Each structure stands twice: as structure tokens, then as C-alpha cells.
Amino acid sequence: MATDVITIQQLDKHFGDLHVLKEVSLMVQSGEVVVLFGRSGSGKSTLLRCINFLEEPSSGVIQVGDLRVEVGPALRARREKIRQIRERCGMVFQEFNLFPHLTVLENVIEAPCTVKGEAREKASKRAMVLLERVGLAEKAKEYPIRLSGGQKQRVAIARALAMEPDIMLFDEPTSALDPELIGEVLAAMRDLARDGMTMIVVTHEMGFAREVANRMVFMHEGQLVEEGPPSQIIGSPADERTRRFLEAVL
């Protein structure tokens, strides 16, 4: 039986008066690909960002592997746990967020060298393998400014993978891309899923979801409304709100 690598319990998040996440609970098993979707402003990004504490939850529990973090003061022990969670969760952003002053290769080895103290040479060798995998080995010495959006996003994926994470979080990785560049990024993600990576993906690419996801979760106004395998969610959604949303996207 596969084990849960991510457990989210009773997660609440407020931004001032705005109640963005309402008692969200979600479990993700090792090797599972979960697609999270829903209207703009429903809280998808916030949920994802709470998992690696880019956003501090208002209440609730986040557990990644054996690292369990509850809401509380930023004590040293808690900060260290959060750091370890971040090592285990790679994240890919809509806007790529590459480091413009570093070459592609330097972007990829930055965290392994700085955070884990890995030797540059060894990290570079691993980085080249990862860049090869996303089809960008020949761009290793380029600066990000010289890359297309699709190439940037693939570098961002390689950069996250360089930390050897157990889980990958994707926040609308193809939304900022021209339509003709979406395919190459989705291909890299598909490849990753095939290798058994645990993934939570926020996306509205229903074709990708149908093909790659084990489970789809529909989010509405800060709550997880409905979940199930893609065939069921896309084919015959039970909830009225899911159905209306899907009609609008498909």
C-alpha cells in the first residue's frame, strides 16, 4: 500500500478579512499526480504555497513525509522543519522566476551548492543530466534572457529537480506561455510523472489532466468541492459548480 507523502489537515488561511482557504484537508500518496483546478481566486495558489510555507497558514497542519508542522511561532526547530520540507518539495511557478544574473547551468546548481554544500563540479554533472532530460543541455551557458518562455520553464523544472525533491508542486506552469510553447513543458511534466514523481499540478490543461492525473480536485471559494479520477470528474462531475466550470473551460 502506498504511503501518504503529503497530508494537509484542516488548513485555514486568512488574508486580513478575506477567508481564502476554509478547512482544507487533502492527502497525496507517493507517486500520485493530483491536478488542482478551479476558478481564478478560488485559492489554488494559496493552497500550494502553504505546503512549502511560502504562505504561512492561519491554522491547520501540514505534513510532508515525517515532517509535521503546525501553526505556531517561528522558533528555530520549526524553521528548520520548514526548510527540510522545502528541500523535499520542488516548486515551479507560472512566471518561471529564474535568476537572471546566473546562466542556465548556474541556476540549476545554485541551490544544491548553496543549501546542500555540494561541490560545483559534481552538481554541474548532475545538472547537465537534468538539462539533457528537459532537452536544454546545449543552452547550459546561456543567460535566461536569451531563452523562450517554454525553455525558461523547462530550466525552472530542472532547477527544482536538482534538489532531488520527493514532490513537485506546479502552479499554472503553462499559463504564461504562448500556445505553441505549452506542449514542450507539458511533455517534460509528463515525463516526470512517468518516472513516478509525486506531483500536485494547478492547471487548466484538461488534456494533460485526463492523460496524466490520477486524481482531479476541484476547488471553489477556498474549499475542495469534489474529487475523483479524471474520467469521472471530466466525464460526469457530480457537483453543479464543477460542471459549470468545466463547461466554461472545455
**Binding interface with ligand ATP (CB under 6 A):** 15, 18, 20, 38, 40-46
Of 86 and 215, the one with the shorter C-beta distance to another protein is 86
- Does residue 194 bind another protein (CB under 8 A)? no
Within 8 A by CB and 6+ apart from 84, the residues are 67
- What is the smallest separation between the CB atom of 217 and ligand ATP, expressed in angstroms? 12
Return the amino acid letter for 249. Answer: V
Site for Mg ion contains 153 (CB under 5 A): no
Q: Which of 120, 122, 146, 194 binds another protein (CB under 8 A)?
A: 146
Residue 99 cell numbers, joined = 535568476
Asked whether position 90 contacts another protein by CB under 8 A, the answer is yes
For another protein, the binding residue among 24, 34, 160, 225 (CB under 8 A) is 160
Binding-site partner at residue 91 among ligand ATP, Mg ion, another protein, none, CB < 5 to 8 Å by type: another protein
Residue carrying the nine cell digits 534572457: 145
Stretch that binds Mg ion, among 41-49, 97-105, 223-231, 242-250 (CB under 5 A): 41-49
Give the residue with the Cβ less far from Mg ion, 45 or 151. Answer: 45
Regarding 117 and contact with another protein (CB under 8 A), the answer is no
Q: How far is CA 172 from CA 109, 123, 221, 245, in A?
A: 24, 28, 18, 17
Among the listed residues 215, 221, 194, 218, the one whose alpha carbon sits nearest the alpha carbon of residue 204: 218
Out of 35, 37, 45, 173, the residue judged to bind Mg ion by CB under 5 A: 45
42 binds, among ligand ATP, Mg ion, another protein, none (CB under 5 to 8 A by kind): ligand ATP
Query: Under the criterion CB under 8 A, does residue 101 sit at the interface with another protein?
Result: yes
User: Considering the rule CB under 8 A, would residue 148 count as an interface residue with another protein?
Assistant: no
Residue with cell 534538489: 163
Rounded to a whole number of angstroms, the minimum distance from the CB of residue 227 to ligand ATP is 16
> What does the binding site for Mg ion look like in residue numbers (CB under 5 A)?
45
Binding site for another protein (CB under 8 A): 52, 54, 83-84, 86-87, 89-91, 93, 95, 97-101, 110-111, 114-115, 141-146, 156, 159-160, 163
